[in-house]
Amino acid sequence: MTAAPKAQAAGNGDEIGALALNGVTRRFGEFTAVDNLSFEVKPGELLALVGASGSGKTTTLRIAAGYEVADAGTVTLGGRDITGVPPERRGFGMVFQHYALFPHMPVEQNVAFGLEARGVNKVDRLVKARAALAAVGLEGAGGRAIQSLSGGEQQRVALARALVIEPRALLLDEPLSNLDPTLRQAMRDDLRAMLRRVGVPALFVTHDQEDAFAIADRIALLRKGKLLQAGTPEELYNAPVSREVAAFIGRGSIVPAVDKGGNVASVTIGGVMRELAVTRPANTLPRFEDAYVVLRPDALEMSRGATIFAWRGRVINRRFAGGLVVYRVQLADNVLVEVESTSGDAREDETVSVSPLKGPFPLVSG
């Protein structure tokens, strides 16, 4: 894959500016799909909109693209209000979930379509389309029929079609969801590299947090149309602002704790109390009434047999995961945890001891 021209992006006439949604709301009858949502994507930045289905992430993307009109709030690009600008005049590149390639046109014409719409002459648009195809690793595929392409190839054509118009922003709807797992792994890296090269704000929607972790610079987590938290993947993983974020991001068990203030909380399971070092979200109460800590599999350790001062439990499932084994352990008080262990000795139904290994543990309020 050669360099997708970064200079191209500036060729659209304007400066490259940040894409921002400001207090955007969208209702469908009684249902509020997007609720007073604000975020900004800077030029060259990759922001993932993450959420379960029905969280409003696709509607948000469609508002950014202009296919939906917000009931309230504005969309701005480089500070300019584009809320009322229809999609055909936004100059954004969009990659649809099912790619939406035109089945009656060969690859080349698909890619050149945006240039055709801009009145670019036939020779120039073919030259540019071929360059864009080369940029996504599909040189020489211009004459092929869409139906003859694999899923991964279709995805690249869709990307080339979005890039060739030198978009002011890139929008991608579940760009990897149609690929099989092996291809998906490979495409994550390619996609991130290609999007970074373009240098425009890039917004993509996914329900898969692993995709988001692998591709995005920042993640905006949505639930019921509201923004729960926006931040880098590390921030969301290590410092979730709420129980909901903690439950959605990463694996782990959320167990009730007693907040002792400062950086300390205690967790009691089956009568065994352990004090833990915790981090609390910024700008919150100094002490939570109903506190929870997040026990991630990599922050716990496990030993065979019953150990004093450890939480006792029973292995109900073990899963080999390459270098380590992930155990699912049923503790007392109906607490279920997952523990990563380098030792694979313990068997199902065996009694084991689980202890906190390394902190600080995220502390959240219910």
Partner 1 sequence: MRVATGRQSWMIAVPVIALLLWTVVYPNAAVIAGSFENGLDHWREFAASPADREALRTSIVISIASVFASLAVGVPLAFLLGRFEFPGRRLLRAVATLPAALPPLVGVIAFLFLYGESGVVTRAVQRLLGMAQAPWQLKGVGAIVFVHAYTMYVYVFLFVSAGLERFDATLDEAASGLGASTWHRLRRVTLPLLMPAVAGSALLVFMNALGSFSAPYVFGGGLRVLSTQILASKTNGAMGLAYVETTVLALSAVAGLVLFRWLDRKRKYTLASKGGRARRTIQSRRVQVFTSIAAAVIVVALVLPHLMVILVSFARDGVWTTQVLPPEYTLENYRRLFSEPELWRPITNSVSMALIATAANLIVCFVAAYLLVFRKFAGRRLLELLVALPWAIPATAIALGLAATFNRNDLLTGRVLLVGTFWILPLAYFIRDTPLVASAVEGSLRQMDASLEDAARGLGASWMLTMRRVILPAARPGLVAGGLLAAVTAVGEFVASVVLYTHANRPISMEILAQLRALAFGTAAAYSVLLIVLVLMMTLAARSFEERLA
Does 100 bind partner 1 (CB under 8 A)? Our answer is: yes
Cα 292 to chain centroid distance, Å, stands at: 24
Q: Provide, rounded to whole angstroms, the least separation between the CB of residue 1 and partner 1.
A: 22
Q: What is the DSSP letter of 276?
A: E
Q: Provide, rounded to whole angstroms, the least separation between the CB of residue 63 and partner 1.
A: 13
Q: Which of residues 114-133 bind partner 1 (CB under 8 A)?
A: 114, 116-118
Piece of the chain touching partner 1 by CB under 8 A; list 97-105, 244-252, 273-281, 308-316: 97-105
Q: Which of 31/102 has CB closer to partner 1?
A: 102
* Among 23, 80, 98, 316, interactor with partner 1 by CB under 8 A: 98
Q: Which of 51/93 has CB closer to partner 1?
A: 93
Q: Cα–Cα distance between 300 and 318 in angstroms, integer?
A: 15
Q: For residue 137, give every residue at least 6 positions away whose Cβ sits within 8 Å of its Cβ, in sequence order, or none.
A: 1, 156, 190
* Among 13, 29, 53, 147, interactor with partner 1 by CB under 8 A: 147
Q: Cα–Cα distance between 123 and 115 in angstroms, integer?
A: 11
Q: Which of 51/91 has CB closer to partner 1?
A: 91
Residue 145, class by beta-carbon neighbours within 10 Å (0-12 exposed, 13-18 middle, 19+ buried)? Answer: exposed
Q: Cα–Cα distance between 270 and 39 in angstroms, integer?
A: 43
* Among 51, 82, 92, 225, interactor with partner 1 by CB under 8 A: 92
Cα 264 to chain centroid distance, Å, stands at: 31
* Among 3, 79, 89, 143, interactor with partner 1 by CB under 8 A: 89
Q: Cα–Cα distance between 53 and 59 in angstroms, integer?
A: 11
x-or-dash string of contact with partner 1, 68-87, rule CB under 8 A? ------------------xx
Q: For residue 220, give every residue at least 6 positions away whose Cβ sits within 8 Å of its Cβ, in sequence order, or none.
A: 39, 47, 48, 49, 50, 227, 229, 230
Does 175 bind partner 1 (CB under 8 A)? Our answer is: no
Which amino acid belongs to residue 76? T
Q: Which of 66/250 has CB closer to partner 1?
A: 66
Q: Provide, rounded to whole angstroms, the least separation between the CB of residue 164 and partner 1.
A: 9
Piece of the chain touching partner 1 by CB under 8 A; list 76-84, 159-167, 257-265, 283-291: 159-167
Give the C-alpha distances (Å, rounded to integers) separating 7 from 4, 145, 193, 198, 199. 9, 30, 16, 8, 9
Question: What is the contact surface with partner 1 in residues (CB under 8 A)?
Answer: 65-67, 86-94, 96-98, 100-104, 113-114, 116-118, 145-147, 161-162, 165
